[in-house]
Amino acid sequence: MLKRYFPILTWARAYNGGALSNDLMAAVIVTIMLIPQSLAYALLAGLPPVVGLYASILPLVAYAIFGTSRTLAVGPVAVVSLMTASAVGAVAAQGTAEYLEAAITLAALSGVMLAILGLLRLGFLANLLSHPVISGFITASGILIATSQVRHILGVQGGGENWPEMLGSLMRNIASTNFNTLAVGLFATAFLFWVRKGAKPALIAIGFKPRAAEMTAKAGPVVAVMLTIAAVALFALETKGVRLVGAVPQGLPPFALPSTDMELIAQLWVPALLISIIGFVESVSVAQTLAAKRRQRIDPDQELVGLGASNIASAFSGGYPVTGGFARSVVNFDAGAETPAAGAYTAVGIALASLFLTPLLFYLPIATLAATIIVAVLSLVDLKTPGVLWRYSKSDFSAHIVTIVVTLLMGVETGVIAGVGAGLLLYLWKASRPHAAIVGRVPETEHFRNVERHDVLTLPHILSIRIDESLTYLNARWLEEYVLERVAERPELRHVILMCSAVNAIDASGLESLEAINHRLQDGDICLHLSEVKGPVMDRLGQSHFLQGLGGRVFLSQDRAFSELATDDGRAPDPLDPLAARGMI
C-alpha cells in the first residue's frame, strides 16, 4: 500500500552510483534550460519572474516522491501559465498582492482536485477531452501566447483577453514602438530559432560529438539571456526605454498560505478544474510516451496524486499551477535521467540559482523573456491537423475547429468548455445514429456483407440487417424507424433477421424498441429473428419476456438463419421455448 502511494519506495531501493551520475547530469542540463523558462512563464502568467523559480523547486521534490514517471519534468508550462493569467486576471489586477494570492490559491485548488481525483481513481475523466479538442486548444493557446508577447518585443503597451482584443491593442500602439527594444527582441528571437535548428550542426562542425552538441544546444536560452544582459550593460539600454526585469528577490521560496476566502474560491474552482484536467492530459501523454520508449509503465491515477502534490507544494512555496512540460521532459529523457531523483536535483539547482544568481538578472530585458516564450510556443501551433481531420473525420474536424475559434475569440476557459461540449454533442449525435447495414451472403461462403459494398446473395422474402452498435436509449428509436422503413419498401417480405454480432449491450430502451419492432412486424405477418447474439446479451434477454413473445427464432449464426429461412413458404415457424433458444448461444 505504501509503495502504491509513495513510488519513491520502489525506485529508491535500487538506486546506485550509476543512476546518481546520470540523474545529476540530466539535472544540470534541465536546470540550465528551466531557469529562463521559469522566468518567462511567470511573466506570461502575469506574475513577478521570481515566482517562476519558486514554482520550480518544491513541486519537483513533491513529484519525485509521489510521481510514477522516471523522466517527467514538472514545472511552469506555457498553456497553464496562460490559463492562470486568464483565471486570476478576472478576480484581481496584475501587480497587486491580491493577484499573487489568487495565483497561489489557484495552485492549491488545482492540487487538491488532482489529488482527490487520483485517490478516487478517476483518471478516466480526462477522456472527456478528445485528442482533436486538446490539439485545437493547444494550437489556439499557442497563437494567443505568441500574440500576447509581441507587445514586449515591440516595447509597447497592450493586452486583451482574446485574439481580436490583443491584435486591436497592438495596432493602436504600434506607432510607439521602441526600436531599441525591438532590436533586442528580434535578435533574441532569431538567435533562439537558430539554436533550435542550426546550433547542433554548427557545434558538430567545430568538433563536438553529436550527443554533446545536442545537449549544449539546449543551453541556447541561457546564452540569449547572457548576451542581451551584456548588451544592456554595454549600451545602457535601460536609459533608452528598454524594459528590464529589475530587482529579483534573492533567497529561497517563502512559506505562503492560500486564501480561505470562500468568494474567491467560488470564482476560481472552475478554472482550477480546467487547469487540472488540461495539465493532467498534457502531463500523462508525455509521461506515457517517454515510458514506452524504455518499456516502463506509469500509473495514471497515481500521476494525478503526484501532480496534485506538486501543485500543493507550489502553493505553499509561493508558486502557481504547474504540470509536466513536454520540452523539458524530453531533454531530461535525452540527458539520461533514470529516476525522479533527477527532478529533485534540478530543484536544488533552481534553489541555488534563487540564492546566488538572481542579482545578475536585474539587467535582463523583458523582450528576451518574450522571445523565449514565442519560440517555445510556436512549436505548439499545429496547422496540419485540421487538414488531416477533415479528410478522416468531419465530426472530429468540427470539434477541433470549434475549440480553436472559440478559444481565439472568447478566451481559454470558454474555449475548453466549448471544445468539450462540442465533442460530447457530436459523440451523442453519432451514437444516436448508429451504423446499420442490409447484408447478404457472399457467394460460396458463410460470410455476410453490406449489399452496397459487395456482390452478395439476397432473397426477396428475407431482410437481414446488421446492427453495428449496442442498443441504448440514444439510438433505440432510430433503429425502430430504420427497420420499419426498410420493411415498408419490401412487400414480399416474410422474415427480418437482426444480425447482432456487434451488439454488446441492450438497455431497457433498446429492449422496448425490439418489442415494438416485433409487435409491428407480427401485425404485418412478418417474423422477427435474431442471430449471433452474444452470451451476456442473451442472458439479459432471458430475464425479460421478450423471448416468449418473439415472433421468430434466435439463431446461433447468420448463415444458419439465412439457410433455414431461405426455403420458408411464408408461414411463421413455431416459436422456440426461450430456454431452448438460450441453449443455442
- Same structural domain for residues 237 and 124? yes
Beta carbons within 8 Å of 11's beta carbon, 6+ residues apart:
70, 339, 340, 341
3-state secondary structure labels for all residues of 200-267: HHHHHHCCCCHHHHHHHHCCHHHHHHHHHHHHHHHHCHHHHCCCECCCCCCCCCCCCCCCCCHHHHHH
- Same structural domain for residues 442 and 332? no
Nearest to 343 by CA among 46, 23, 91: 23
Whether residue 537 is contained in a domain is answered as: yes
- Same structural domain for residues 355 and 443? no
Contact criterion met (CB below 8 Å) for 320 and 85: no
- Give me the torsion for CA of 425, 533, 480, 516, rounded to 10°: -130
Whether residue 233 is contained in a domain is answered as: yes
Instruction: Compute the distance between CA of residue 45 and CA of residue 37 in angstroms, rounded to an integer.
Output: 12
Contact criterion met (CB below 8 Å) for 112 and 312: yes
Contact criterion met (CB below 8 Å) for 36 and 72: no
- Same structural domain for residues 189 and 328? yes
- Same structural domain for residues 188 and 104? yes
CATH of residue 493's domain is 3.30.750.24
- Same structural domain for residues 216 and 305? yes
Instruction: Compute the distance between CA of residue 201 and CA of residue 418 in angstroms, rounded to an integer.
Output: 44
Contact criterion met (CB below 8 Å) for 298 and 69: yes
Instruction: Compute the distance between CA of residue 278 and CA of residue 80 in angstroms, rounded to an integer.
Output: 8
Whether residue 159 is contained in a domain is answered as: no
**pLDDT value of residue 570:** 53
Residue at a domain's end among 339, 359, 383? 383
Instruction: Compute the distance between CA of residue 490 and CA of residue 483 in angstroms, rounded to an integer.
Output: 11
- Same structural domain for residues 451 and 369? no
Report pLDDT digits (tens) over 187-205: 999 999 999 889 889 999 9
Environment class of residue 138 by beta-carbon count within 10 Å: exposed (0-12), middle (13-18) or buried (19+)? Answer: buried
Beta carbons within 8 Å of 39's beta carbon, 6+ residues apart:
49, 50, 52, 53, 245, 361, 364, 369
Whether residue 546 is contained in a domain is answered as: yes
Report pLDDT digits (tens) over 263-303: 999 999 999 999 999 999 889 888 888 888 888 888 889 99
Write out residues in the chain with pLDDT < 70, as ranges.
569-585
The Cα-based distances of 452 to 83, 185, 436, 484, 560 in angstroms read 49, 61, 12, 19, 22
Residue at a domain's end among 383, 412, 444? 383
Q: What is the DSSP letter of 105?
A: H
β-pairing verdict for 527-531 and 554-555? parallel
- Same structural domain for residues 243 and 324? yes
The Cα-based distances of 441 to 65, 133, 213, 461, 529 in angstroms read 60, 41, 63, 14, 17
Contact criterion met (CB below 8 Å) for 158 and 177: no
Beta carbons within 8 Å of 190's beta carbon, 6+ residues apart:
none
Across the chain, which distance is largest between two alpha carbons, in Å? 101
Phi-psi map region of 542: left, alpha, beta (phi>0 left; psi -120 to 50 alpha): alpha
Q: What residues form DSSP beta bridges with 554?
A: 530
- Same structural domain for residues 195 and 342? yes
**300-316 and 262-293 helices cross at what angle (nearest 10)?**
130
For the chain, the domain total comes to 2
Contact criterion met (CB below 8 Å) for 89 and 271: no
- Same structural domain for residues 117 and 41? yes
Nearest to 275 by CA among 382, 141, 386, 399: 141
Q: How many Cβ atoms sit within 10 Å of the Cβ of residue 422?
A: 22
Domain extent at residue 555:
436-583
- Give me the torsion for CA of 299, 300, 306, 307, rounded to 10°: 160
- Same structural domain for residues 378 and 495? no
Counts for the chain of helices (H) and strands (E), in that order: 26, 8
Beta carbons within 8 Å of 178's beta carbon, 6+ residues apart:
154, 155, 156, 240, 241, 242
Grid cell in block for residue 493? 417480405
Q: How many Cβ atoms sit within 10 Å of the Cβ of residue 365?
A: 28
Is the dihedral angle over the CA atoms 580, 583, 498, 443 positive or is it negative?
A: negative
Beta carbons within 8 Å of 289's beta carbon, 6+ residues apart:
none
Q: How many Cβ atoms sit within 10 Å of the Cβ of residue 203?
A: 18
- Same structural domain for residues 312 and 448? no
Whether residue 406 is contained in a domain is answered as: no
Residue at a domain's end among 353, 383, 413? 383
Whether residue 162 is contained in a domain is answered as: no
Whether residue 488 is contained in a domain is answered as: yes
Number of Cα atoms under 13 Å in the Cβ half of residue 90: 18
Contact criterion met (CB below 8 Å) for 56 and 352: no
Instruction: Compute the distance between CA of residue 433 and CA of residue 519 in angstroms, rounded to an integer.
Output: 23
DSSP 538-568: HHHHHTSSHHHH-SS-EES-HHHHHHHHTT-
Whether residue 7 is contained in a domain is answered as: no
Starting from the edge strand earliest in sequence, which strands make up the sheet with 448-450, in order? 448-450, 436-441, 462-467, 495-499, 527-531, 554-555
Contact criterion met (CB below 8 Å) for 439 and 451: yes
**pLDDT value of residue 575:** 47
